[in-house]
Amino acid sequence: MSKGSFPRVTRRPGGIRRPVVVAVAALVPAGLAGWLLWDAEADGGKKAPVAAASSASPGGSPSSQAPSRQPSPSDGKPSASGPSAPGSPAPGSPAPPSASPAAADDGPLPDGPLKGKVVLVDPGHNIRNSEHTTEINRSVDIGTGRKECDTTGTSTDAGYAEATFSLDVAHRIRTLLRAQGAKVVFTHDGERPYGPCVDERAAIGNQAHADAAVSVHADGSAVGNRGFHVILPASVKGGRADTSPIVGPSKDLGVRIAGHFVRSTGSAPSNYIGGGTGLDTRGDLGGLNLSTVPKVFIECGNMRDPQDAALLTDGAWRQKAAQGIADGITDFLDG
C-alpha cells in the first residue's frame, strides 16, 4: 500500500494562501483509493470540498481484547429501554445536572501554535447511561423540537462500548492538542453518573467560547457498511436553535478533519452515508443545533462491521484516529 502526496499550503506574507488544490489520498487495499479534495481560495484561505470518492474498505490490524460488556440492543444508536418521561425527570429521579465542563486538565500549557485557542472535545455517550434509563430517556429541547437527553450508544458484537471508545479517543486528542498549547475542555470525563444531555453538551462548548468543537462517536450500522463520516450542522432556525453563524465554519472544520482522518488512518469515507464524500449534514442533533461555536460530529467507523470493529478496538489505530482529528482541528484553527 502506498500513501498519497499531501502538499502543504504555502502562505504569502500577511497569512494569505496561494490557490492550491490539496488531494488527500487514503491507504486502501488492492490499489483502490478514497480521497477528498479541497480548493484553497485566496480570499481568506477558506477551503471547500470539490470532490470525493471511493467507498473502498480500509485495511486493518487485529483487534485488541475488548472489555467484557454485553452489547446494547442496536438499531444503530439505541435509546435505553424504558418509558420516556418527556419534559422533566420522573418523580423521585435526580434532577439533570447543570451545565458544567468535566474537571479540566488545566496544568501549565506549553507554548505552541495553538496557544490561546480553546477546543471542546465531546466524548459521545457515557458508559453508565444504561444504568440511568429514566434520566437519559427524558426529553430535552433541541431548539426545533424535543429529543431524548442521551442514548446508550452502540458496541461491537464482542461488547466493546462506543462510550469507552469515544472517551479513549478523546483523551488521545486532548494530549495531542495540549502539546500544541491549546486549552481542551471536555463535556465529561467518565466521572458523571449519566449524560450529559445533548443540550448541556452544546452549552458547555458555548460557555467555554470554544474556537472549535468535535463530538467523537462510532456508528452502529449493518455488516458491510464501513468507513467514517463527519456530520455537519444543517442550516436550522427555530426555537432556541440558530445555526446560521456556524454552518460555514463548521463545514470548513469538518472537511479538514475528514481529510486528515483519511491521511492518518487510511480509512475510506463511509460507503453507506454521504455519497462517498465522508460528509453528512443533519438538522436533528441537539449537540449541533444548539451550538454557537463551530462544531462537528465524527463517526469513526461502524462497530457492527467486523472489519471496522477490528480497527476501532485496536489501540494503535485509535491513536491514528486521534491524530487525524487533532490535525484537522489544528489545520482549521491555523487557517
End-to-end CA distance of the chain: 31
Q: Which residue has the cell 467518565?
A: 190
Q: Which of these, 313, 164, 297, 298, lies nearest to 227 by C-alpha position?
A: 298
Q: Which has the higher per-residue pLDDT, 79 or 133? A: 133
> Which pLDDT score, from 0 to 100, does residue 100 have?
60
Highest mean pLDDT among 33-47, 82-96, 320-334: 320-334
> Which pLDDT score, from 0 to 100, does residue 99 have?
58
> Which pLDDT score, from 0 to 100, does residue 183 have?
97
Q: Which of these, 298, 302, 193, 311, lies nearest to 255 by C-alpha position?
A: 298
For residue 214, pLDDT over 60 is answered with yes
> Which pLDDT score, from 0 to 100, does residue 55 have?
31
Q: Residue 47's pLDDT band (boundaries 50, 70, 90)? A: very low
For residue 258, pLDDT over 90 is answered with yes
Q: What is the pLDDT of residues 110-149, one digit of tens each?
A: 999 999 999 999 999 999 999 999 999 999 999 989 999 9
Q: Residue 107's pLDDT band (boundaries 50, 70, 90)? A: confident
Retrieve residue 294's grid coordinates: 463551530
Domains (range + CATH), the chain: 100-333 (3.40.630.40)
> Which pLDDT score, from 0 to 100, does residue 335 have?
73
> Annotated catalytic sites, by residue?
299
> Which pLDDT score, from 0 to 100, does residue 273 have?
98
Q: What is the pLDDT of residues 269-314, one digit of tens each?
A: 999 999 999 999 999 999 999 999 999 999 999 999 999 999 999 9
Retrieve residue 293's grid coordinates: 461555536
